[in-house]
Amino acid sequence: MSEILLRLSKQWIAGQTADDAIRMAKLANARNIRGIINKLGEHIELEKEVQATVKEYLNILRRIERDKIQSCISVKLTQLGLSINDSFCYANVEHIVQEAEALGNFVWIDMESSQYTQTTIDLYFSLLNKHKNVGVAIQAYLRRSEDDIRNLILKNGKIRLCKGAYRESAKIAFKTKQEISSNFAKLLKLLFMEGKEFAIATHDNDLINEALELNRIYPKDFEFQMLMGIRDDLNRS
């Protein structure tokens, strides 16, 4: 069984409000698709701004509960203080994860540029020790990602596989579309063979078909995650 989640960001995308994100999630739900709400922007350097962002995520979680919306949230650690101080960031993300846990919701942690990869994974494992309602994104363009996925699978981590969105050096990352897709396909196979809980975040037709084919051989309870409006042609049922 696979499910599709749509990522809805509206500043929450460009200048719009949390209300818009909630409205878009409702529209997605009406099409039997769950939402992932995230706030755009990264690298918040001021504690006050980070605290305001935490508050916004807490409010969104409560709105999701109040309006009975099918949606989780996705956060970036540099929105929550990672570029200020690791323990401040941990406390902030844990606060959000705890609130989500109390409301029966789930929090995805986006993966940002490679300077944050190890800290994000370390912080994710610390959270996972205490909370089960949290997952982390892994980027198929990074050469280290196979090891990270094996480690995450061993520790029952919840994984979102994506291609990766930052400019990285050839030392640490696959660079061509072909290399990235081929590593994505390899990691997909690993997830279908050995993974437990995972999501596949791509609009790439070949990789979507590859996942559907792997699911026929190794049936898994996974989900597709996409940006709203990009692959609306894909049929829900």
Ligand X SMILES: Cc1cc2nc3c(=O)[nH]c(=O)nc-3n(C[C@H](O)[C@H](O)[C@H](O)COP(=O)(O)OP(=O)(O)OC[C@H]3O[C@@H](n4cnc5c(N)ncnc54)[C@H](O)[C@@H]3O)c2cc1C
- Give residues in contact with ligand X (CB under 6 A): 7, 110-111, 137, 139, 162-166, 201-204, 225-227, 230
Token representation of residue 60: 């969104």
Contact 56, 21 (CB under 8 A): no
Query: Which of 102, 191 has the CB closer to ligand X?
Result: 191
Report the alpha-carbon distance of residue 25 to residue 72 in Å, rounded.
10
> Could you give phi then psi for residue 103, rounded to 5 degrees?
-95, 5
Q: Give every CB contact of residue 58 below 8 A, 6+ residues apart in sequence.
A: 95, 96, 99
Query: Which of 47, 232 has the CB closer to ligand X?
Result: 232
